[in-house]
Amino acid sequence: MDIYGIGIDVVEVGRIASSIAEFGDRFVDRLFTVSERHYCSNKVKPELHYAARFAAKEAVAKALGTGIGKDVGWLDMEVVRGDNGEPTMRLTGKVLDFCRQHGIIEIKISLTHAQEYAAANAVALVESRP
């Protein structure tokens, strides 16, 4: 496989916590899928997990070179746990269409968080060219 693009993002956990406190469901419903909301809300510190997922979605948009908008929507990306518990990115809708159009076959992600910051990186992969 070859690399199409890479992306990284760092988020202040407090910023996400403030947005949740101020806008509540309106904020989380706009940015996170039902299963992401369920996963995060069942954690002792949901804001850590929301922040990591926010960072992952931003990192993917950077890896694709699109940003969030026309080709990539917040709810078209979903962080899910793989068979071994590792985070993986499930794509749907317009971002899946974008990836198919550009030959992107997989996106690898990595997440981390501490008390004040969450970060993620993403690598978009295409088939190797001979």
For the annotated catalytic residues, the residue numbers are 62, 113
> What are 56's two structure tokens?
């992952």
> What are 77's two structure tokens?
């990306």
Those residues whose C-beta lies under 8 Å from the C-beta of residue 35, and which sit 6 or more positions away, are: 78, 80
Question: Three-state SS for 85?
Answer: coil
Could you tell me which residues are beta bridge partners of residue 88? 80
Measured distance between the N- and C-terminal CA atoms of the chain, rounded to whole angstroms: 10
